[in-house]
Amino acid sequence: MIKVRSPGSATIINAISTGCGSAFGIQLYIDAEVQLKSGSNIKCYSDQHVDTTLMEICAKNVLKKYQIITGVEIHTMSTLPVASGLSSSSAVSNAVTMALNEALVEENGINSLLDNASILNLAVNSSLEAGVTITGAFDDASASFYGGISVTNNLKRRIIRNEKWNGQNILIYMPDKKSPTAEADVARMKLLAPWVKLAFREVLKGNIYHALTLNGLLYCSALRFNPDIALDALQAGASAAGLSGTGPSFVAIADAKISHKVVEAWDSYPGRVIETKVDNQGTQVILGE
């Protein structure tokens, strides 16, 4: 059995309006366990009882790459909420694709046909095929795969910059609802393009807090989320706050000494608050036998 762990990510710049984006890994994870079986059936199970179509497509695409027919059993376990704007789909694609690749190489004693960049791109292809993403979410997927901050051109699938981001205390407000990316209003988001480009320039300058906040408030307006959630976090002392992905989650960056003030500011909103850190490790094998 091979087990791979893949982190979710939170948004700095949502790429839907312009094609360029940025995200950072967070310490909430999808674990994928893969075992090869006799036969040719692909069986997928999720501890969150979600649709397993994405997992099946990932498996089929890896098997097609190797031109191998085998049975596969995949189990995913998660501390990462689904349909929340925290890149759960990218984390699933990365984890399943890497785990099955490792299992095939180990079981058959062959050289891997997929390097890290190829695994990432195959995972993005699978997400697009499954219809769980609008742009392929290359920014989210690369932040999940490599960890740290990823700045990308999604249209060209090019990583402009990837770097570690240490010492950041992350707060996530999780409302009592889900918001699948594929159901978001693309036309409204594309109206934001001139201003999202300004936010992206701030990322390129290294002004991550400014970029995250501006992007988050812009997408709140397009997607009809309450900007007061971000503003309340800023008023409580957060360095940055905004909508993550296409929602419904909000992310705030706050010094550990004032995190409790942000949590208190969010107490009046229905839902829960998750405290976490930046993940700088990315997608990796955590068990192989």
Cβ-based neighbour number of residue 83 at 10 Å: 21
Tell me the pLDDT tens digit for each residue of 202-213. 999 999 999 999
What CA–CA distance (Å, rounded) separates 198 from 177?
30
Q: How many CB atoms lie within 10 A of CB 268?
A: 9
Can you say how many angstroms the Cα of residue 97 is from the centroid of all Cα atoms in its chain?
Answer: 15
DSSP 181: G
Write down the pLDDT at residue 182: 65
**pLDDT tens figures, 43-97:** 999 998 889 999 999 999 999 999 999 999 999 999 998 889 999 999 999 999 9
Angle subtended at Cα 242 by Cα 228 and Cα 227, rounded to the nearest 5 degrees: 20
In the chain the domains, ranked by start, together with CATH numbers, are 2-163 (3.30.230.10), 169-277 (3.30.70.890)
pLDDT tens-digit map of 138-157: 999 999 999 999 999 999 99
Structure confidence by residue, pLDDT tens digits, 243-271: 999 999 999 999 999 999 999 999 999 99
List, in order, residues 6 or more apart from 26 with CB less than 8 Å away: 7, 8, 9, 10, 86, 170, 172, 276, 277, 278, 279
Closest listed residue to residue 182, CA positions, set 95, 97, 251, 245: 245
